[in-house]
Amino acid sequence: MIQTNDNGNMYIDFDTLQKTGDLVSISTLNDYYSLQQKGELSSQWTELHDCKHKKFKALAINDYKGNMGNGNLIQAAHFNEAETAWSDVVLYSIGELKANVICSR
């Protein structure tokens, strides 16, 4: 777990880390205290981080009915890496904290 707030907890699964040069692919999990918009209690993301340019993109998002990636899969979205735009890491955000932890490995 790298972060907790009023909404839930965020986890990084370092067993899924794959590094190629400055690019890091990794799985993260958002575990929520209450049902979210789609009825999910957790969302597992596959993310790609460009550690040199401080950018990231989602490659896949799976929303689950239960906590910690358990229960029925509500929705699965997979994105084409070449067609998905990069987003800048926002300074002083949880995204920056997450990127710094991921890129330090």
- CATH value at residue 48: 2.40.128.710
Rounded average pLDDT over 74-92: 96
Q: Is 43 exposed, middle or buried (0-12, 13-18, 19+ CB in 10 A)?
A: buried
Q: What is the mean pLDDT of residues 86-91?
A: 97
Total of domains in the chain: 1
Looking at residue 64, its amino acid is Y
Cβ burial, residue 80 (10 Å; 0-12/13-18/19+): exposed
Query: Residue 102 corresponds to which tokens in the numbers above?
Result: 């991921």
Residue 5 tokens read as 């707030």
Show the domain range for 95.
3-103
- Measured between alpha carbons, how far is 30 from 4 in angstroms, rounded to an integer? 10
Q: What is the tens place of the pLDDT at every residue in 20-65?
A: 999 999 999 999 999 999 999 999 999 999 999 999 999 999 999 9
Q: What is the pLDDT of residue 26?
A: 98
Rounded CA gap, 63 and 55, in Å? 23
pLDDT reported for residue 91: 95
**Helices (DSSP H) in the chain: which residue ranges?**
94-103
pLDDT at 99: 96
Average pLDDT of the chain, as a whole number = 96
79-86 mean pLDDT: 96
Residue type, 68: M
pLDDT band at 79 (very low <50, low <70, confident <90, very high): very high
Written as one string, the DSSP assignment of 41-53 is: SEEEEEEEEETTT
pLDDT of 45: 97
Q: State both tokens at 34.
A: 């209450």
